[in-house]
Structure 1
């Protein structure tokens, strides 16, 4: 199931808001998974979910690599109202750092930081761009 974001050109915040608005009201969190991170596995996602559950559903859980923050990220429901006020090309990173919630980093390795934003990065990750 996909949440449509007709306002995508207005920036990243609109995608976050569209996705959260699409969630059922009893959702404990949202998992932000970037579409250009080919090395993320279902086991990585399961480890993040397990950490969120062990924290009682009140913490931000994010993937990390060698102690550096990465993606995916689980954002608890308590952040949804603040996310609703984001504008432009802004994600939730500053909310994670300023809202006073516990942040749990889960080491998943290089997959947390590998993304394919360019043709070169795609080819380096083993992909082929269809022209």
Structure 2
């Protein structure tokens, strides 16, 4: 976030590109979902955030387990980076608005998309 209009315009453009990229990536994940993928858990009401011990969060899924793979890890990292770009442009409000916008782009996948984005972007802008 900045007071410089030119820098703000660049950040806004970057956030718009990140939203578009997140939409395209979610569409690709949904279309090419392999059985057992970490993102499948969301379809079954699962949660992408995994836990180390009670009260302590490890952000993101555990890709060391047999159902995870490098494609899942790459998708996770890409989506997380898009969230960081959106946050940098407008803070938590922009991130919340982006989730709503991206979810609305594919109404048939709305619940799944919301769960994925909220899980992947859980820590964006909220960690020290």
Q: Which category of TM-score, normalised to the shorter sequence, fits these structures?
A: under 0.3
Higher helix share: 2
Higher strand share: 1
Normalised to the residue count of structure 1, the TM-score between the two structures is 0.25
Normalised to the residue count of structure 2, the TM-score between the two structures is 0.25
